[in-house]
Amino acid sequence: MTIRKFEDLPESEQVNIDKLSFLLNKQYEFGKQFTKFGELNEMEQQVKLLHFISCLIEEVGEIRTELPLRKDWSSKRFNKPNWGKVKEELIDSLHFMLTLFLVLDMDANEIVGLYMFKNRINIKRQEEGY
């Protein structure tokens, strides 16, 4: 995949990224106490990525646990999810996604640029029945 930069996107796709920058900055401030973002050698970077990917997988598992798509046999009806808890787990997952971006030294411009580039590919795939 060719890496696209935010600045290379057509103007119509250059969205306001202030909120994403804000979240990345907040995560950086939180995470800098235990991760030396931008100062990791390649081996340390890979170890951190694997660690935070494992954390992300755990959080996604917690989301799955909060969505009881199985029958509650005692009441013969489906359980209703606790949507507040689901949202909380989604935010925990976002926390680790932001950390992964920071470990890779990605900024908001790069994230948005790559997202928009990949989004185009995904739309094309869907249109072609991928």
Cα dihedral 33/50/114/64 (nearest 10): -100
Does 9 map to a domain?
A: no
Per-residue model confidence as pLDDT tens digits over 9-60: 666 665 667 889 999 999 999 999 989 999 999 999 999 999 999 999 999 9
The pTM assigned to this predicted structure is 0.81
> Mean pLDDT score of the chain, rounded to an integer?
87
In a domain, 13, yes or no: no
- How many domains are there within the chain? 1
Q: Note whether residue 59 is domain-resident.
A: yes
Domain of 112?
A: 18-68+79-122
Does 8 fall in a domain?
Answer: no
As given in the structure block, the two tokens for residue 20 are 């994403």
Q: How many CB atoms lie within 10 A of CB 115?
A: 15
> Is 107 part of a structural domain of the chain?
yes
Percentage of the chain beyond pLDDT 70 is 80
Mean pLDDT for the stretch of residues 99-104 = 97
